[in-house]
Structure 1
Amino acid sequence: MTMNRESSALVLVDYQGRLMPAVAGHEAMVQEALFLGHVANELDIPVLGTEQNPAGLGPNLDSVRALCSHTLTKMHFDATKDGLLDKLRAARPGLSQVVLAGCEAHVCLLQTALGLLRAGLQVFVVPQACGSRRPEDKALALQRLQQQGAVLVNGEMVAFEWLQSCTAPQFKAVLNWVKQRPAPTPAQQVETAA
């Protein structure tokens, strides 16, 4: 199955400023999330953010919030238990696919993805835009998500499947975002190869 922009939404889970310094590789993770958000905005794909208990953890990073049409405050780790499905369906009638990224991968991202899968949606997770304090927790979460039916993709897969063709009016704008991406670090290349 490919990602279809007419039936997709992007959800950015808990990129909260107080949490970020504790997340392994948070700088690269945030950059990948911003890339996804910019591409989604270019293609008029709804972008929703979530914030876990912002009174305690603070708001999402300003750069992430700026890309979201709505940010959902939640107390459950699974954002679907705090109204995410209603917000998604209101933002994207005919919704069948959700591209998901965020942290922590083994808690809120995992439980939100499982909630979306239970609701019958196709879920695509972008590992490079996900994180946990400990890399092994992220790895285990991604393994479990695959076992449960989520599809792991990278940011450029998302961008080019949403575009479908180089004749799309937004192709040059999206290509510009692709070209602005930083080259992967040696550590990221090793992680990707593993």
Structure 2
Amino acid sequence: MAHARILDASRAALLVVDVQEAFRTVIPVFDRLALAVSIAVRAFRVLDLPVFITEQYPKGLGRTAKEIVDVLPADFRYIEKTSFSSCGAEELESGFKAAASTQLVVCGLEAHVCVNQTVHDLLDRGFDVHLLTDCVASRSEQDKQAGLSKMLASGVVASSVEMALFEIMRDSTHSSFKEIQALIK
């Protein structure tokens, strides 16, 4: 049996928080981040694991980044919200329950606002939260670092796209290993 801090495919889901087009011009690493998130989304879909994506007030901030939208089916259901925490969207929590997801792999924008509040609410609700540190950002590096520090101090597990995927697969004989390896190399 794996350590409690290692991701388990039977309990894991990906939550992408607010990676929206309006941030493209104000977050210096947006293009790199959107690409990394799109790889995570593609990989979770290859592994047949749940993917949830929230959008903060899309009327004002636009829709999810094109890089991510392009790897999803046209009928994918995005979860719109106005609260900074994604947990303010009832549809999200019911989705976690329906998928039996207790380990949430979280990424998105901005680290010190919506990601921070989401992560703390998830921890408060008893979820194991793994943060893809290579897939979070803020407009300023100082705000990102403050958000990361607070989340990690609160019990979030630091991870990366590659780390999370290899934990989920557990073995190079996994049926999706070659396909996942091609995505991340």
TM norm. shorter chain > 0.5: yes
The one-letter amino acid of 2:50's match is: P
Residue equivalent to 1:79: 86
Residue equivalent to 1:174: 180
For residue 85 of structure 1, report the CA deviation from its aligned partner: 1.3
SS of 2:28's partner is coil
- 1:47–1:67 contact (8 Å) kept in structure 2: no
Deviation string for 1:111-135 (max 9, x for gaps)? 1111111110000001111110001
Is 1:38 the counterpart of 2:38? The answer is: no
Deviation string for 1:55-108 (max 9, x for gaps)? 111111133234454311000001111122112222x12x21000000011000
Residue equivalent to 1:182: none
How far apart are the structure 1 equivalents of 2:68 and 2:173?
Answer: 29
The one-letter amino acid of 2:93's match is: L
Residue equivalent to 1:152: 158
User: Any stretches of 5+ residues in structure 2 without a counterpart?
Assistant: none
Residue equivalent to 1:187: none
How far apart are the structure 2 equivalents of 1:60 and 1:4?
Answer: 27
Is 1:27 the counterpart of 2:35? The answer is: no
The one-letter amino acid of 2:163's match is: M
How is 1:1-194 mapped onto 2 (pairs within 5 angstroms)? 1-67=5-71, 69-83=76-90, 84-90=92-98, 92-93=99-100, 95-179=101-185
Larger proportion of helix: 1
For residue 23 of structure 1, report the CA deviation from its aligned partner: 1.1
Residue equivalent to 1:188: none
- 1:24–1:135 contact (8 Å) kept in structure 2: no
Percent identity over paired residues: 28
How far apart are the structure 2 equivalents of 1:73 and 1:133?
Answer: 22
How far apart are the structure 2 equivalents of 1:19 and 1:156?
Answer: 24
Give RMSD over aligned pairs: 1.2
How far apart are the structure 1 equivalents of 2:68 and 2:178?
Answer: 23
- 2:23–2:30 contact (8 Å) kept in structure 1: no
SS of 1:109's partner is helix
How far apart are the structure 1 equivalents of 2:28 and 2:146?
Answer: 15
SS of 2:10's partner is helix
User: Any stretches of 5+ residues in structure 1 without a counterpart?
Assistant: 180-194
SS of 2:22's partner is coil
